[in-house]
């Protein structure tokens, strides 16, 4: 929540400063007719995501307890950039990326640091039920290669690696936050998964079908499909997002944390044609799960585990907005179907995402 509040404060300061310095006539004109926005002058994007059930209606502090991620995304990569070479090579020799065109925008996202925390439903017992999901945490970093072809197709290839187990600092993170707010500490962390190097490689492709309505407004459908492989997550997924609003071409939907739906950190307001944009969205994603270490347990040692559900689905709804080429904010509510056989009811959590360009 602290990360999200900082992004909100930065957004409001930028919005106020731009409003004070603009002429009234220009404000009225920009609201009537979308005006071209100059190409952004920033060198990169800093983005943050925070997911927690405590801000969702009927959300309960259980199962997927917390997810945070801080990332840096470059501006458009030049043709001769070293970091552009994997996209160019894979686009010429495999189906993973497309061959570059004059309208292709390639970028690189560095997941500086991420952490996900999972717990059983009952935090007050020192020896949790064997029928509930085990305590676990994942601390990770990674890279994601992103290709946007003429704003019609977005492809991402992500490599994440880190540590699962006590070294992921899940106990310290959760209980320090609980202590800070005067809440009871989770007592069962002695039974968490053991230390294990964790990695996941994921590939996702999205297609945009945009229908302009005039005045910068439009609605669109973004179907997507992907696959992930690794000892942390292994699944195949498909889904779609429906959006309505203004300046939709600036991004591809909300940025979320694996394994949930993610529009990635891609943000290019110069493609939107407006200085202020917003949208409402509703979507879904289904996953056929072959591996989830947080349910299946450690790969090479004995640990607690539960029988996972092979098919899991998310229902997603929320709102996004951006101002000029500097700020983007979003909030989503996600409802997730049961992930293991003896789970009681669905899980609901909220997801904040914010982006600042500099």
Return d(Cα 312, Cα 295) in angstroms, integer.
Answer: 13
Q: What is the CATH number of the domain that holds 179?
A: 2.40.128.140
Instruction: Show the tokens assigned to 295.
Output: 């349910």
Q: Is the pLDDT of residue 134 over 50?
A: yes
Return d(Cα 67, Cα 139) in angstroms, integer.
Answer: 10
Tell me, yes or no, whether 164 lies in a domain: yes
Tell me, yes or no, whether 41 lies in a domain: no
Q: Is the pLDDT of residue 8 over 80?
A: no
Question: What average pLDDT does the structure give for the chain?
Answer: 88
pLDDT tens-digit readout, 91-122: 877 889 998 777 899 999 999 999 999 999 99
Tell me, yes or no, whether 10 lies in a domain: yes
Q: What is the DSSP letter of 126?
A: S
Lowest-pLDDT range of 39-53, 213-227, 237-251:
39-53
Tell me, yes or no, whether 183 lies in a domain: yes
How far CA 55 is from CA of 20, 65, 114, 209, 334, in Å, comes to 33, 11, 20, 32, 11
Mean pLDDT, residues 303-329 taken together: 94
Say if CB 107 and CB 146 are below 8 A apart.
yes
Tell me, yes or no, whether 16 lies in a domain: yes
pLDDT-based confidence at 325, cuts 50/70/90?
Answer: confident
pLDDT-based confidence at 257, cuts 50/70/90?
Answer: very high
> In this predicted structure, what is the pLDDT of residue 71?
97
H/E stretch holding 85 reads: helix 85-93
Instruction: Show the tokens assigned to 188.
Output: 């069962």
Determine what percent of the chain is predicted with pLDDT higher than 90.
Answer: 74
> In this predicted structure, what is the pLDDT of residue 34?
41
> In this predicted structure, what is the pLDDT of residue 237?
97
Tally of residues, the chain = 358
Tell me, yes or no, whether 275 lies in a domain: yes
> In this predicted structure, what is the pLDDT of residue 100?
79
The sign of the dihedral angle between the CA atoms of 143, 241, 344, 311 is negative
Q: Is the pLDDT of residue 124 over 70?
A: yes
The number of domains in the chain is 1
Tell me, yes or no, whether 338 lies in a domain: yes
Q: Is the pLDDT of residue 313 over 80?
A: yes
Task: List the domain range (segments joined by +) for residue 172.
Answer: 2-29+47-357
> In this predicted structure, what is the pLDDT of residue 195?
98
> In this predicted structure, what is the pLDDT of residue 12?
43
Mean pLDDT, residues 121-134 taken together: 94
Tell me, yes or no, whether 126 lies in a domain: yes
DSSP assignment of 36-79 = --PPP--SEEEEEEEEEGGGSTT--SSEEEEEEEEEEEESPPPT
pLDDT tens-digit readout, 150-181: 999 999 999 999 999 999 999 999 999 999 98
């Amino acid at each position: 929540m602290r990360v999200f509040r900082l992004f909100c404060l930065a957004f409001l300061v930028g919005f106020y400063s731009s409003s004070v310095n603009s002429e009234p006539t220009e404000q009225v004109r920009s609201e009537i007719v979308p005006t071209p926005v100059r190409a952004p002058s920033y060198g990169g994007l800093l983005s943050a995501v925070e997911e927690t059930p405590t801000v969702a209606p009927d959300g309960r502090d259980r199962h997927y307890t917390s997810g945070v991620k801080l990332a840096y995304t470059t501006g458009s990569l030049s043709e001769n950039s070293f970091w552009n070479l994997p996209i160019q090579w894979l686009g010429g020799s495999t189906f993973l990326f497309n061959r570059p065109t004059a309208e292709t925008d390639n970028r690189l996202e560095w997941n500086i640091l991420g952490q996900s925390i999972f717990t059983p439903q009952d935090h007050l017992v020192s020896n949790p039920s064997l029928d509930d999901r085990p305590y676990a945490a994942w601390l990770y970093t990674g890279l994601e290669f992103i290709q946007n072809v003429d704003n019609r197709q977005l492809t991402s290839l992500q490599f994440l690696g880190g540590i699962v187990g006590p070294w992921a600092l899940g106990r310290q993170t959760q209980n320090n936050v609980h202590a800070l707010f005067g809440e009871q500490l989770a007592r069962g962390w002695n039974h968490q998964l053991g230390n294990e190097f964790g990695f996941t490689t994921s590939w996702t492709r999205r297609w945009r079908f945009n229908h302009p309505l005039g005045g910068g407004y439009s609605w669109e459908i973004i179907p997507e499909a992907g696959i992930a492989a690794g000892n942390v997550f292994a699944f195949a997924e498909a889904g779609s997002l429906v959006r309505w609003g203004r300046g939709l071409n600036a991004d591809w939907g909300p940025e979320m944390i694996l394994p949930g739906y993610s529009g990635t950190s891609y943000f290019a307001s110069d493609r939107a044609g407006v200085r202020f944009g917003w949208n409402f969205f509703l979507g879904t994603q289904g996953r056929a799960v072959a591996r989830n270490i947080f349910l299946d347990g450690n790969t090479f040692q004995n640990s607690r585990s539960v029988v996972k559900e092979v098919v899991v689905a998310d229902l997603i709804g929320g709102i996004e907005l951006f101002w000029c080429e500097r700020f983007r904010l979003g909030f989503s509510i996600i409802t997730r179907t049961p992930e293991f056989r003896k789970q009681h009811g669905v899980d609901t959590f909220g997801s904040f995402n914010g982006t600042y360009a500099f």
